[in-house]
Structure 1
Amino acid sequence: MADNTRCGYVAIVGRPNVGKSTLMNHLLGQKISITSRKPQTTRHRVLGIKTEGDVQAIYVDTPGIHQQEPKAINRMMNRAATGSVKDVDVIVMVVDALKWNEGDDHVLRKLQSNRAPVILAINKLDAVEDKADLLPHIEMLSAKREFAAIVPISALRNRQLDQLEEEINRRLPESEFFYPEDQVTDRSMRFMAAEAVREKLMRQLGKELPYACSVEIEEFESANNVWHISALILVEKASQKRIVIGDKGDRLRKVGTEARQDIEKLLDAKVMLKLWVKVKSGWSDDERALRSLGYDDGQY
């Protein structure tokens, strides 16, 4: 390994639904974090590792930091997000194009005591119709705090991500790599399979289902080059179970088909996926239940 390698942790933070997971996936060049148009899609701290040349950047995709904490799951997601920025080397704060609201101010306040340089990534540049509006907006943002850099980007369209990476990489400390060069995440394939199912649920159900649903993998075994996976979808009410299953099971089948296709890409093998739906009242407001489902406080 070269003597002058750089390696460090990069936290991607922001309020819900500003495109943090999309940004990490595009920086890595592959899908690690699940995405949907719904805010708070990301519930766990997920590491994405990118090794290129003499630099290894370890991206930490965090749940959106939100102001309200009505349930235990919201409190744990906030702890995961704020805990993940404690010891990182660089922070990328993602904001939504020309929008700035109380949620962004709240995130900024959470970063006040952190000594790591904060790069502001102004995302969704492709949605800005008149680029002349951008300059006064950047001036307004630069008055909020002393950012290490401000980079307008479009994560979805891969625009100016190389410039963002340049700003990140040059601020990483000189260090040996922490992970093997071919490793892309710290999460297990079992976890990734559960997240694939949850992503399809969030995309399919849109506004019909609140966030009272989680996925638990009960079987994850390989035989004769075929993976046999059984996933349990937990909801909080019988009415939600009916929504997930759909008319004659059509919605559950569609979720299963789409999730299976994603998992087959992940495992590079044939997958037999079985989905079950179970009502477990109050799981999202029960810290013990959440820990048993794999939720944590975002510590490394």
Structure 2
Amino acid sequence: MTSIDNHILSFSEGVSIPQAPPEFKSGFIGIIGRPNVGKSTLMNQLVGQKIAITSPVAQTTRNRLRGIVTTPDAQLIFVDTPGIHKPHHQLGEVLVRNATIAIDSVDVVLFVVDGTVACGAGDRFIADLLINSKTPVIAGINKIDQQPANPQNINESYQQMADAHQWPTVKFSAMTGAELPQLQTLLIENLDHGPFYYPPDLVTDQPERFIMGELIREQILLLTREEVPHSVAIAIDKVEETPAITRVMATIHVERDSQKGILIGKGGSMLKAIGSAAREQIQKLISGKVYLELFVKVQPKWRHSRVRLAELGYRVEE
């Protein structure tokens, strides 16, 4: 697998984007939904490789991450957004604001819902946001592989919501890939004719450093779960590449000394486990050997400070 960053570098150095044939379609698709409905898993499955982190912990996604799928007939640019929820701090407000901005800045909205539970207040809240937008909406019922034996009531609850707004619906599994070809076909049908926005072999517009930081954060979420929920931000301090190895130095920012202690663990055991698991994922990303060094730094209440948020890369997007 070729390094994502190599694609970014070749693009920025002026590799020409091909001219699209007359009937070619293209556009931006916003993946919107409550936290933990499978938006990042869906984008990874559609793109065909891991560019977005996934976790059983809710509200994992923080940045609007673009995944690019190019077929002979179309180029789909998927925008994965933070789960829309009631914010409890400045970071939460920034994340939800960015998600709602995405609704009006894309060509099609894919409203993803959790097909294992019936339509709830959170889904209806998002539906109310969407009806105030002029962007076309497709309702996607995810997790059909995990539905109960008789999912009729669940499916009908979402169908009623979609019918009320005349939204087409499609059922699929982001985890297994079931019915995703049908989803992709429906999305292409709702796009207008357009150009290539990116070179055909590009899978994301995010630089490799960003993906590295997200892979480290993913392992923290997986290994610490609720002990260190969302008080973590990753800064990639240095990347040194040689033909034999890539050395990566990163700082994990937390809000309290107790969280630092949890991340380091007894005798450094937790930090070692996080580093080992993250290194394996980064090696898959760059297809090469990686030396990863992690540091932990306390930044009190960074999620409540616009200055700290900006320093760590979290801004309201235009």
Q: 2:285 is matched with which residue?
A: 266
Over residues 64-102 of structure 1, what are the superposed CA-to-partner deviations in whole Å (9 max), with x where a residue is unaligned? 0112x2211001101111111212111000011132221
Instruction: Confirm or deny that 1:77 pairs with 2:95.
Output: yes
Cα contact 1:227–1:269 (8 A) shared by 2: yes
- AA aligned to 2:246 is W
- AA aligned to 1:294 is G
Over residues 229-261 of structure 1, what are the superposed CA-to-partner deviations in whole Å (9 max), with x where a residue is unaligned? 101001111100011111211111111011111
Q: 1:33 is matched with which residue?
A: 52
- AA aligned to 2:249 is S
Over residues 167-214 of structure 1, what are the superposed CA-to-partner deviations in whole Å (9 max), with x where a residue is unaligned? 101111101110001111110001010000000000111111121111
Deviation at 1:145, TM superposition (A): 2.0
Q: 2:201 is matched with which residue?
A: 182
Deviation at 1:135, TM superposition (A): 5.0
SS in 2 for 1:111: helix
1:253 to 253, 259, 272: 272
Q: 1:127 is matched with which residue?
A: 146
TM-score, with length taken from structure 1 = 0.95
Which sections of structure 2, spanning at least 5 residues, go unmatched? 1-19
Instruction: Confirm or deny that 1:141 pairs with 2:161.
Output: yes
Q: Cα–Cα, structure 1 residues 132 and 213, in superposed 2: closer, same or farther, change >3 Å?
A: closer
Q: 2:256 is matched with which residue?
A: 237
RMSD of the alignment, in Å?
1.3
CA distance in 1: counterparts of 2:155 and 2:209, whole angstroms: 45
CA distance in 2: counterparts of 1:79 and 1:182, whole angstroms: 31
CA distance in 2: counterparts of 1:221 and 1:144, whole angstroms: 55
SS in 1 for 2:54: coil
CA distance in 1: counterparts of 2:289 and 2:156, whole angstroms: 52
Cα contact 1:81–1:298 (8 A) shared by 2: no
Cα contact 1:235–1:280 (8 A) shared by 2: yes
Which sections of structure 1, spanning at least 5 residues, go unmatched? none
Moved more, 4-13 or 109-118: 109-118
Deviation at 1:142, TM superposition (A): 3.0
Give aligned pairs, total.
Answer: 297
Moved more, 288-297 or 229-238: 288-297
CA distance in 2: counterparts of 1:54 and 1:281, whole angstroms: 50
TM-score, with length taken from structure 2 = 0.90
2:217 to 194, 198, 202: 198
- AA aligned to 1:70 is H
Cα contact 2:118–2:158 (8 A) shared by 1: no
Q: 1:96 is matched with which residue?
A: 114
CA distance in 1: counterparts of 2:263 and 2:138, whole angstroms: 40
Alignment identity in percent? 38
